C-alpha cells in the first residue's frame, strides 16, 4: 500500500492517475481526513494501513507563481521545510521508506565549465547562498531538514512539463505568457518522472538526493521553436530583452534558471529520455485543455 | 484583556508573575486548550475575549541549549518562523496589536567602530548572512515573516538574566558551567524587560523592531568578577583559551556574541538601566534555587 500526500496538486494528480491506471494499491491522503502534519496521527495511519512506501507531493508552490511566496512566508516555510520534517518523523518511526518531491530550483546557472550541478554541489540559490527567492530558500531548508533522516529519497524535479495542457505545465505557460525570458534550464518530463519515482519503491537505490531532470538542458528559444513547429504553427513568441527587463517588468523575486546533472539517477538504473527527445514526445502527444479551462491558464 | 502565549517558558513565566502580581487582566493561553497555531481558532478567541494586546513568548529554544536546534530543524522553524506568522495572521484580522519575543542573536560581534548594531543593520548571523546556528537562522526568518504585518512589536532580547536562580538565567549558567567562553555581549535584564514590554501596550510607540537590551555591553570576565565579589565569593571561574577551543570541545554550532544599540527603545520613552547597574541589582537581590532544583540546573 502506497500513501500519496498532496494528491490533488499538479504533481500529485499525475501520481494518482498513474497509480489508478496501473491498479497499484494506494491511498490519496487528504489533510482534512488525516492531518499528516501531525506525526503521531500519520504514524498511526501508516501502521494501520501497513504502508510500504509514501510519496510526498504536498508543498507550498505559490499561485499564480513563485512571487506569491514573498507574501506568504510562514506558509511557504511550513509547507516546504516543516511539513517534510513532520512526515520524516512519522516515516522513521514506522520504518516506511518514502520519496519527497523536492526542487532543483535551489541552484542558479551551471558549473563554471557549463556542466550541470551534481547532488554533491551545495545549493547556490538558497538563504545560505543568496540572493534567492523565498520559495527556493524554503525548499533548500527542507532538504536540510530531511538530511538527518535515513530512508528518504529527495527527488529534485525542475519546471515540469507534459503532454497535457495545464496551468502548471511549462509548455502551457510558454504558450500563454505574453512575453518570455530566454534562459537555459534542465527540465522534468512529468510523464517520465512519475513511473521513474515509483521505480524507487521497487529498486530501492541508496537513499538521499537525486537530481530528477531529463539529461541535458534546453533554452527557452529552443522550446518555442519546437512549439512553433508543432502545436503553435508559425507562432512568433515575444521575449524580454534580458533578465534585467524581466525582473523590472514581470517578476518581483529572482528566478532560478539552472542546469542539473542527472547521472546519479541514471547510475541508479532509472534513466529518463534526453531532454529534446522528451520535449518532442510531449508535443507529439499534445492534448490542449478544453476551451472552458483556458481562462484559468493565464 | 491581555493574551500571553508561551506562558510556561522562562520568559513567559516572568510575564505571568508580573501580570498576576499587578492584577492585570490576562489569560495564559495553552496550546492544549486553544491551538493558537491555527489562525482561525486564535482569531475567534481574540474576538470572544475582547483581547486588547497579545504577548508571544512561545518559541523553540532548544534544550539544554541551542545545539539541540541542529537536530530538530523542523520544530525550530515551526516555533520561530511559522508560528509567529500564524499569530500575526490572527492578530491582523482581529486588529489586535501584539509583541513578539524575538532575539538579538541574529547578530555577531559589533559594528566596525565597536558600537552596537541598530535595528537598521541587517542581521549578520542568519541563513542569509552565515555561518550561523540553525536557531539564529530561524529567528531571523521569523523577523522576515513578521515584517509584512502592520501592528507587531518585535522585541529583540539577548541572553536574559535575573535575580532568580534558574536553568535559563544567564547568571545561573555562568555559576554552573564548568568552563566559560569570554565574549562581549549586550544582555537583557528580565525583571526590567517584562514591565518595559508591557509599557508598549500602554504607550503604543511605532510598531517594528526594537533592540531590547540594557544599554552598553559587558564581557563574561566582568560578570564572573561581579559573581566572585557577591554570590560566589572568591570563586575561580575556568575559561576556554579561545572560541576555537570552545567550539572544538563544548559546542556543535557557532554562538552569537554581539553588541546591540538600544537607543530606539530609549527614544520610545522606555529606558532600561545600564548593563553593569542591572547586573549589580540582580546580584544584590539574588535568590538561589532551592536545593532540590539544583539537579536540573546542569
| Average pLDDT estimate for A101-115 | 96
For B53, the 3-state DSSP assignment is: strand
Nearest to A82 among B82, B137, B145 (CB): B82
Chain B positions touching A126 (Cβ under 8 A) are: 127
Instruction: Please report the sign of the dihedral spanned by the C-alpha atoms of residue B28, residue B32, residue B38, residue B40.
Output: negative
pLDDT score for B298 = 34
Q: What is the per-residue pLDDT for A155?
A: 98
Task: Give me the pLDDT at residue A292, please.
Answer: 52
C-alpha distance from B212 to closest chain A C-alpha (Å)? 24
Question: Smallest Cβ distance to B127: which of A86, A127, A148?
Answer: A127
pLDDT digits (tens, 9 = 90+) for B36-49: 999 999 999 999 99
Which residue on chain A is closest to B148 by alpha carbon? A71
Please state the φ and ψ torsions of residue A188, each to the nearest 5 degrees.
-120, 120
Mean pLDDT of A86-102: 98
A89 in contact with B, Cβ within 8 Å? yes
Superfamily of domain A2-297: NAD(P)-binding Rossmann-like Domain (3.40.50.720)
pLDDT at residue number A298: 34
Q: How many CA atoms are closer than 13 Å to the CA of A89, on its beta-carbon side?
A: 18
Answer whether A82 touches B (CB < 8 Å). yes
Question: Do B88 and A73 count as a contact with CB atoms less than 8 A apart?
Answer: no
pLDDT at A250 over 90: no
The predicted pLDDT at position B292 comes to 52
Q: Which of A73, A82, A148 sits opposite B78 (nearest CB)?
A: A82
pLDDT tens digits, B135-157: 999 999 999 999 999 999 999 99
- Best residue of B74, B89, B148, B252 to probe chain A, by most A CBs closer than 10 Å: B74
Contact check, Cβ <8 Å, B145/A74: yes
Residues of A with CB below 8 A from B84's CB?
A: 74
Q: Is A286 on the interface with B (CB under 8 A)?
A: no
**Peptide bond before A64: cis, by omega within 30 degrees of 0?**
yes
* B236-258 per-position pLDDT tens digit: 999 999 888 988 888 888 889 99
**Shortest Cα–Cα distance, A130 to chain B (Å):** 6
Is B81 at the interface with chain A, CB within 8 A? yes
Q: Is B144 on the interface with A (CB under 8 A)?
A: yes
DSSP-derived secondary structure letter, B154 = E
More confident residue, B268 or A65: B268
Compute the average pLDDT of residues B279-283.
Answer: 98
A297: pLDDT strictly greater than 60:
no
Q: For chain B, what is the mean pLDDT?
A: 95
Residue of A nearest to B88 (CA): A74
Residue of A nearest to B85 (CA): A74
Question: What's the rounded Cα separation, in Å, for the pair A172 and A227?
Answer: 10
Identify the residue with better confidence: B245 or B227: B227
Task: Please write the tens of the pLDDT for every residue from B79-92.
Answer: 999 999 999 999 99
Q: What's the average model confidence in pLDDT over B265-269?
A: 97
Chain A hits for B81, Cβ within 8 Å: 73-74, 77
Structural domain boundaries in chain B:
2-161+186-217+256-274
Q: Please give the average per-residue pLDDT across A206-227, as a whole number.
A: 98
The answer to whether A134 and A70 are in contact (CB under 8 A) is yes
Phi-psi region of A193 (alpha: psi -120 to 50; beta: other; left: phi over 0): alpha
Tens-digit pLDDT profile for residues A223-242: 999 999 999 999 999 999 98
For residue A291, what pLDDT band results from cuts at 50, 70 and 90?
low
Residue B73 and residue A84: Cβ atoms within 8 Å? no
Q: Which of A42, A95, A80, A89 is nearest to B72 (CA)?
A: A89
Nearest Cα to Cα of residue A278 among A196, A174, A115, A161: A161
Q: Which of A56, A74, A143 to mutate to test the interface with B (most CBs of B within 10 A)?
A: A74
Burial of B15 (0-12, 13-18, 19+ CB in 10 A): buried
What's the pLDDT score for residue A295? 44
Tell me, what's the pLDDT at A296?
A: 43
Report pLDDT for B289: 85
Contact check, Cβ <8 Å, A73/B130: no
pLDDT of B297: 38
Mean predicted confidence (pLDDT) in A19-43? 97
Interface of B with A in 123-142 (CB under 8 A): 126-128, 130, 137, 141
The ipTM is 0.91
Over residues A252-266, the mean pLDDT reads 94
Measured at the alpha carbon of residue A59, what is the angle toward residues A78 and A295, in degrees to the nearest 5?
A: 125
Judge whether A35 and A57 are in contact, CB under 8 Å: no
Q: What is the mean pLDDT of residues B220-238?
A: 97
Mention the CATH class of domain B2-161+186-217+256-274: alpha beta
Coil, strand or helix at A110: coil
| B82 touches B99 (CB < 8 A) | no
pLDDT one-digit tens code per residue, A142-190? 999 999 999 999 999 999 999 999 999 999 999 999 999 999 999 999 9
Tell me the count of A-B CB pairs closer than 8 A: 62
Can you give the pLDDT at residue B291? Answer: 64
The larger pLDDT score, comparing residue A246 to residue A285, is at A285
Exposure of B234 by Cβ count < 10 A (0-12 exposed, 13-18 middle, 19+ buried)?
A: exposed
- Partners of B130 on chain A (C-beta within 8 Å) are 128
Across chain A, the runs of DSSP E, i.e. the strands, are 2-5, 26-29, 53-56, 98-103, 152-157, 160-161, 184-185, 188-189, 208-211, 218-219
Chain B nearest C-alpha distance from A247 (Å): 21
pLDDT (tens digit per residue) in B166-219: 999 999 999 999 999 999 999 999 999 999 999 999 999 999 999 999 999 999
3-class DSSP assignment, residue A262: coil
Pick from A18, B197, B168, A80: which is nearest to A4 by CA?
A18
Closest CA to B47 of B107, B94, B83: B94
Residue to test with chain B: of A77, A125, A126, most B Cβ within 10 A: A77
What residues have CB less than 8 Å from A197, skipping those under 6 apart? A15, A55, A99, A153, A155, A212
Q: Which of B110, B265, B291 is nearest to B184 (CA)?
A: B110
Minimal CA separation from B128 to chain A, in Å: 5
In this prediction, residues B101-105 reach a mean pLDDT of 97
Q: B70: distance to nearest CA of chain A, Å?
A: 9
Amino acid at each position: 500500500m502506497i500513501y500519496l500526500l498532496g494528491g490533488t496538486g499538479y504533481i500529485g494528480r499525475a501520481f494518482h492517475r498513474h497509480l489508478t491506471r496501473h491498479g497499484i494499491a494506494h491511498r490519496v491522503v487528504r489533510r482534512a481526513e488525516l492531518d499528516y502534519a501531525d506525526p503521531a496521527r500519520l504514524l498511526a495511519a501508516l501502521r494501520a494501513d501497513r504502508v510500504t512506501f509514501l510519496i510526498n507531493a504536498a508543498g507550498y508552490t505559490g499561485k499564480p507563481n513563485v512571487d506569491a511566496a514573498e507574501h506568504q512566508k510562514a506558509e511557504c516555510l511550513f509547507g516546504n521545510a516543516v511539513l517534510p520534517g513532520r512526515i520524516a518523523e512519522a516515516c522513521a518511526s514506522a520504518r516506511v521508506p518514502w520519496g519527497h518531491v523536492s526542487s532543483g530550483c535551489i541552484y542558479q546557472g551551471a558549473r563554471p565549465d557549463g556542466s550541470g550541478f551534481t547532488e554533491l554541489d551545495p545549493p547556490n540559490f538558497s538563504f545560505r547562498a543568496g540572493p534567492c527567492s523565498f520559495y527556493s530558500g524554503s525548499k533548500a531548508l527542507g532538504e536540510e531538514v530531511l538530511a538527518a533522516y535515513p530512508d528518504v529519497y529527495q527527488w529534485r524535479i525542475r519546471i515540469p512539463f507534459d503532454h497535457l495542457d495545464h496551468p502548471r505545465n511549462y509548455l502551457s505557460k510558454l504558450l500563454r505568457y505574453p512575453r518570455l525570458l530566454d534562459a537555459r534550464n534542465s527540465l522534468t518530463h512529468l510523464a517520465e518522472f512519475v513511473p521513474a519515482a515509483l521505480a524507487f519503491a521497487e529498486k530501492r537505490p541508496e537513499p538521499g538526493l537525486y537530481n530528477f531532470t531529463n539529461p541535458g538542458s534546453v533554452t527557452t528559444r529552443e522550446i518555442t521553436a519546437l512549439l512553433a513547429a508543432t502545436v503553435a504553427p508559425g507562432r512568433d513568441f515575444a521575449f524580454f530583452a534580458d533578465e534585467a527587463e524581466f525582473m523590472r517588468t514581470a517578476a518581483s523575486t529572482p528566478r532560478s534558471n539552472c542546469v542539473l546533472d542527472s547521472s546519479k539517477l541514471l547510475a541508479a538504473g532509472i534513466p529518463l529520455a534526453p531532454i529534446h527527445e522528451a520535449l518532442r514526445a510531449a508535443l507529439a502527444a499534445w492534448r490542449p485543455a478544453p476551451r472552458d479551462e483556458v481562462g484559468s491558464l493565464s
